[in-house]
Amino acid sequence: MRNLNQDTITQAVIAGLVDTPDARLKELMTSLVQHLHAFARDTRLTEAEWALGIDFLTAVGHQCSPTRQEFILLSDVLGLSMLTVAMNNDKPQGCTESTVFGPFHVPNAPRVPNGGDVAQGAAGQPCLVRGRVLSRDHTPLAGACVEVWQADAQGKYDVQYEDLAQPRARGVLQADVQGRFEFHTIVAEPYPIPTDGPVGDLLRATQRHPWRPAHLHFMVTAPGHQNLITHVFRDGDPYLDSDAVYGVRQSLVAPWVQQADGLCTMDFDFVLNANPS
């Protein structure tokens, strides 16, 4: 394995993976080497450019903390998160589609009684969200678990505030025997993904905007059914066709309806796919 050159090095690296005991790891690494080398060849990558690339990836790592995951953000803006979601969540007609998880889910969100207040003081216009959790044949999924999280009117999730003692605009509800759930919250508004790190630099360098269309995040679970991670997007939002992380699906767009009494309402039913038997 001496005197490798630009024509022989790819096969040499791949040959070095031949004894990888885990077959899937071997497949992933072989393909990754092939594609990385092809990228370098296609673009005639210079040493200075690759040094810049390594500086960028180093900066992405340094930006990560317990409350900030810049690598997820990078995967999101490159469309890689949505591609893996799309490939792995191909569901039968009628089931609610999945979309990106995003970096702002927090485990152990507060439990909220059905009909209760999720906002917990978050700034925004009052909104009532209602819906049902159903199986594909529209049988109600009694007692299904509905977790919701969202940004406030300033476009920020609770975890983006340094001084917040309590969770806000997130909660876990249990649907009733008819699969129905409802909660009070605030109207979803569009917001920019964080741009104060290297992913923001990348967006600016490529003249891309950082905005996500207004949405609520949901994670819906019920026994015997596949977990659903999705959003509901607000109809009419100006960013529906240019989401910075490519997560919009038309079936997930719903109207937020302004009622005469000043309250806004949003109704959406979730249809879960059964586990394979």
Shortest CB 217 distance to Fe ion, Å:
5
Beta carbon of residue 245, minimum distance to Fe ion (angstroms, whole number): 9
Closer CB to Fe ion, residue 102 or residue 131? Answer: 102
Among 33-41, 95-103, 132-140, 175-183, which window interacts with Fe ion (CB under 5 A)? 95-103
> Which partner in ligand BEZ, Fe ion, none is near 103 (CB below 5 to 8 A by kind)?
ligand BEZ
Q: Give least dist CB 38 to Fe ion, A.
A: 34
| Residue closest to ligand BEZ when measured from CB atoms | 102
Q: Which residues contact 276 (CB under 8 A, 6 or more apart)?
A: none
Q: What is the Cα–Cα distance from 12 to 268, expressed in whole angstroms?
A: 54
Half-sphere exposure of 167 (CA within 13 A, CB side): 18
Burial of 249 (0-12, 13-18, 19+ CB in 10 A): middle
DSSP helix/strand/coil, 3: coil
CB of 231 closer than 8 Å to CB of 247? yes
Shorter beta-carbon distance to ligand BEZ: residue 82 or 144: 82
- The CA-atom distances, in angstroms, between 111 and each of 25, 134, 148, 173, 186 are 39, 21, 11, 6, 17
Region near Fe ion per CB under 5 A, out of 11-19, 62-70, 97-105, 235-243: 97-105
Residues forming contacts to ligand BEZ in the complex (CB under 6 A) are: 73, 76, 100, 102-104, 193, 212, 245
Q: Which is nearer to ligand BEZ, 179 or 247 (CB)?
A: 247
Question: Taking the complex as a whole, how short is the minimal distance between the CB of residue 71 and ligand BEZ, in angstroms?
Answer: 11
Q: Least distance (Å) from ligand BEZ to the CB of residue 14? A: 34
> Which partner from the list ligand BEZ, Fe ion, none does 100 bind, CB cut-off 5 to 8 Å by kind?
ligand BEZ
CB of 52 to ligand BEZ, least distance (A): 24
Ranges assigned E (strand) in 62-119: none
From the list Fe ion, ligand BEZ, none, pick the one residue 193 interacts with, judged by a Cβ distance below 5 to 8 Å according to partner type. Answer: ligand BEZ
Where residue 153 falls (left for φ over 0; alpha for ψ -120 to 50; beta otherwise) is: alpha
Asked if 121 and 165 touch (Cβ cutoff 8 Å), the reply is no
Question: Can you tell me the distance from the alpha carbon of 129 to that of 187, in angstroms, rounded to the nearest whole number?
Answer: 9
Could you list the residues that contact Fe ion (CB under 5 A)? 102
